[in-house]
Amino acid sequence: MKETQSGEFSLPVRVYIEDTDAGGIVYYVNYLKFMERARTEFMRSNGFDKAAVGGDGQLMVVHSANINYRKPARLDDELKITAKVVQLRRSYLVFAQQVWRQSDNELLCEGEVKVACVDADTMKPKAMPRVIQEALGKCE
């Protein structure tokens, strides 16, 4: 795991049999799981151990995802999953994410994921805690 000069975080992932379909190609939904892991580790690297819980009765939830699949990852590939905050607002943030095959530096998948802060009881938008806004504002 590492954060680059541009504020982009990366996480290495190896493709296991459980990640693939019968043909040894990564099943499409698993790219979303890889991206979730990278966002979680990004948050952890910024001091927030529980990425889904903002504190004070708040939750961080995925609002939407826009994914573009370019090329398939295959069994045993070593991947690099990136996450970068590209938009930070009062009650949500947007991550730009990519999945790269390390052996040939090929971009396999990319997307934007909007994560919203909501009240845990009402599930209505709520301002992110200032500590999260300040920490992530430095990453934008």
For 42, counting Cβ atoms within 10 Å of its Cβ (0-12 exposed, 13-18 middle, 19+ buried), the class is buried
Residue 74 near residue 24, CB atoms below 8 Å: yes
- The span from the CA of 84 to the CA of 106, in Å, is 18
- The token pair that represents 90 in the structure block: 């009062």
- The span from the CA of 15 to the CA of 26, in Å, is 7
List of E strands, the chain: 2-3, 9-14, 53-55, 58-69, 78-88, 92-101, 106-119
21 catalytic? Reply is yes
Q: Which of 19, 21, 77, 121 is catalytic?
A: 21
Strands 92-101 and 106-119: antiparallel
| Residues labelled as active-site residues | 21
